Chain A
């Protein structure tokens, strides 16, 4: 196995400039540095508001970091700085290698649950019928009632939406999986299934970076922890 880390975050910082509030600057986080080996699972910890979710969003490039590097080693070889790579490059790596699960439903409106989950497979070239079959199997596994499979997730409960989100992100196991409180509104049973699915993915080599509550069952999956530096009090 390659001794270099799959992901190497160096002195990363994120600040938001709110132009509508006279250019007020809000610090997301700063001085964040960590490495993740391929196949390892890293937990980001720190108090609420420390910027854990923002770190994940910077890696996924939903946020633009203001400083630092996010060195990622793509499957094709070489290295790419996800903080600075062109959008087209980021999109290509995202589609091929990176998954992201949030606690919020971010799926498309007016698309049945089964198609929401099947879409990543279809995008990757799987025949639609086969993709839907696998999507149904995944929905069944994570405990979504068959009567809901053809319904729109916008009408689902919080826990159901979260599971659909999760299913969509893992149906095609990514190389790097970013997890932002993926079990926040799940009951014990649903959480156990999510953990089981993640454990299988990990066993097959998926690298993970996760944010979750301290007492979560997810803890059992994690190999390492990184505590975000505390923010300096604003001057």
Chain B
């Protein structure tokens, strides 16, 4: 099977850096801060594949680099090193090459056409003062939709699908509860029928009952649409519910990967065992 998304050697460093950064950081050194120059190696040598229709989890504590990986894959920042391929995009746009080597314009186009993202904080993914429908319309416009009637039709269908009352379509998300803001973000992310959906801690900070509803919604949308997802979370409950394969990150590095049930039932690494045994 050909992977839908493929990442090799993804590395990100914040700060000026020195020649010893990679040598002096990572899970073996138990730090991601270079002791010589103070630079942060947020993620290092991260390689994985995401297959069509698959839900892959990335789990780790704060500072493990999991959100950095998502931001890099969404072109929110420039990587220090690494290769990135997207099957949907390679034929037309990248000629099978490294997406990180493309111009910002080409990358933005790939992002608008093939990727959706849902952030932990709705304010990162939504314009809080623009109506819920307007938020979705904006994304559709960026992806080249031009017909106002059709845009509105698509926006209302999506809000219905994500259980946002249509009566509130013209209200701005800042008036909404946290759970409803997340549902608008999900609707917006799905609007262009992306090949890949990136979910970064989407239920963190929500009430437990609201978390359950958002997770159930993601699960049912995944089953309905068969969309491939990358689910980043520190919460093993989320991993258990949504994913089939899981990557465990620590100090910017992948320390373990396996079938999600195996990671949860038979974790190998000390850190993963700690994580699994720490579930309340």
Which residues of A are in contact with B by a Cβ distance under 8 Å? 16-20, 57, 61-64, 87-88, 90-92, 108-110, 122-123
Quick check: A62 and B241 within 8 Å, CB to CB?
no
Please, how many angstroms separate the alpha-carbon atoms of A217 and B274 in the complex?
Answer: 41
Q: A18-B273, A88-B51 are in contact. Are A109 and B241 (CB under 8 A)?
A: yes
Q: A16-B266, A18-B273, A63-B266 are in contact. Are A87 and B212 (CB under 8 A)?
A: no
Quick check: B241 and A87 within 8 Å, CB to CB?
no
Out of A19, A62, A108, name the residue touching B262 (CB < 8 Å). Answer: A62
Please, how many angstroms separate the alpha-carbon atoms of A218 and B258 in the complex?
Answer: 33
- Give the 6 A-B residue pairs with the shortest CB-CB distance, closest first: A19-B270, A63-B266, A62-B261, A62-B265, A19-B273, A87-B259
Please, how many angstroms separate the alpha-carbon atoms of A102 and B210 in the complex?
Answer: 30
Please, how many angstroms separate the alpha-carbon atoms of A92 and B266 in the complex?
Answer: 20
Interfacial chain A residues near B274, Cβ < 8 Å: 19-20
Interfacial chain B residues near A109, Cβ < 8 Å: 212, 241
Q: A19-B270, A64-B266, A110-B212 are in contact. Are A122 and B258 (CB under 8 A)?
A: no
Please, how many angstroms separate the alpha-carbon atoms of A3 and B268 in the complex?
Answer: 37
Interfacial chain A residues near B212, Cβ < 8 Å: 109-110
Interfacial chain A residues near B270, Cβ < 8 Å: 19-20
- 9 extra A-B contacts, CB within 8 A, seeds A16-B266, A88-B245, A122-B223: A18-B273, A19-B274, A63-B262, A63-B266, A87-B259, A88-B1, A90-B259, A108-B219, A108-B241
Quick check: B265 and A57 within 8 Å, CB to CB?
yes
Report the minimal beta-carbon distance from B240 to chain A, rounded to whole angstroms.
9
Q: A19-B270, A19-B273, A109-B212 are in contact. Are A87 and B265 (CB under 8 A)?
A: no
CB neighbors of A among B205-225 (8 A):
212, 216, 219, 223
Interfacial chain B residues near A63, Cβ < 8 Å: 262, 265-266
Contact-residue size bin, chain B (C-beta under 8 Å from the other chain): 20 to 34
Q: A88-B1, A88-B51, A110-B216 are in contact. Are A61 and B259 (CB under 8 A)?
A: yes
Some 20 contacts from A to B, beta carbons below 8 A apart, are: A17-B268, A18-B273, A19-B274, A20-B270, A20-B277, A61-B259, A61-B262, A62-B259, A62-B261, A63-B265, A64-B262, A64-B268, A87-B245, A87-B258, A88-B1, A88-B51, A88-B245, A91-B244, A91-B245, A110-B212
Interfacial chain B residues near A90, Cβ < 8 Å: 259
Report the minimal beta-carbon distance from A178 to chain B, rounded to whole angstroms.
13
Interfacial chain B residues near A20, Cβ < 8 Å: 270, 273-274, 277
Report the minimal beta-carbon distance from B230 to chain A, rounded to whole angstroms.
15
Is B201 an interface residue when CB atoms closer than 8 A count as contact? Answer: no
Quick check: A87 and B216 within 8 Å, CB to CB?
no
Q: Which residue of B lies closest to A92 (CB)?
A: B1
Is B257 an interface residue when CB atoms closer than 8 A count as contact? Answer: yes
Interface flags, B222-255, vs A, CB<8A=1, else 0: 0100000000000000000100110000000000
Interfacial chain B residues near A110, Cβ < 8 Å: 212, 216
Interfacial chain B residues near A19, Cβ < 8 Å: 269-270, 273-274
Report the minimal beta-carbon distance from A92 to chain B, rounded to whole angstroms.
8
Interfacial chain A residues near B1, Cβ < 8 Å: 88, 92
Quick check: A91 and B259 within 8 Å, CB to CB?
yes
Interfacial chain A residues near B241, Cβ < 8 Å: 108-109
Q: Which residue of B lies closest to A119 (CB)?
A: B223
Interfacial chain A residues near B51, Cβ < 8 Å: 88
Please, how many angstroms separate the alpha-carbon atoms of A87 and B261 in the complex?
Answer: 11
